[in-house]
Amino acid sequence: MKKLSHTTGAGKADMVDVSGKPMQERTAIARGHITLAKITRDLITENKMKKGDVLTIAEIAGIQGGKRTSDLIPLCHPLMISKISVTATLDATGVSVESFAKCTGQTGIEMEALTAVSIALLTVYDMCKAVDKGMVIDHVSLISKEKK
């Protein structure tokens, strides 16, 4: 059985030491979805939500969230992020969100990509909760991660 990387031999939480790893360009892509009622999708399309432009605000929130990942996830390393982009798209059942994150560092950037998607989806939820009580956030997943 594999040993968890964020625990000591005694089972205590421990931040992984990445100092011996080489600096590499690292990228990650994540996706997620929020299912919305038709009336909610129509309000977003017509830009009539009381809190404003849902898709643009969700994209900005996702970028901000991705940049703050190490503040939110206790054992996550702070990274020198060179790029985070978030795209929120209205589809037939709700809003799909995709993020791309990039850094040059000693550890991966997948948590930043996943956090960006999650925060963007939570922002859609927050902006639409007054009109839609049946929203469901799902399918948040890592699509790819690479290092060069």
- Assess whether 71 carries a catalytic annotation: no
**Phi and psi, residue 110, nearest 5°:** -65, -35
Q: Which of 49, 36, 32 is nearest to 134 (CA)?
A: 36
Encoding tokens for residue 30? 């994540």
Q: What are residue 33's DSSP bridge partners? A: 96, 138
Asked if residue 119 lies in contact with residue 10, where contact means CB atoms within 8 angstroms, the answer is no
> What single letter denotes the amino acid at residue 22?
P
H-helix or E-strand spanning residue 96: strand 94-105
Asked if residue 81 lies in contact with residue 100, where contact means CB atoms within 8 angstroms, the answer is no
Catalytic position from the list 14, 17, 42, 126: 126
What phi-psi label fits residue 139: left (phi over 0), alpha (psi between -120 and 50 degrees) or beta? Answer: left
Residues taking part in catalysis? 126
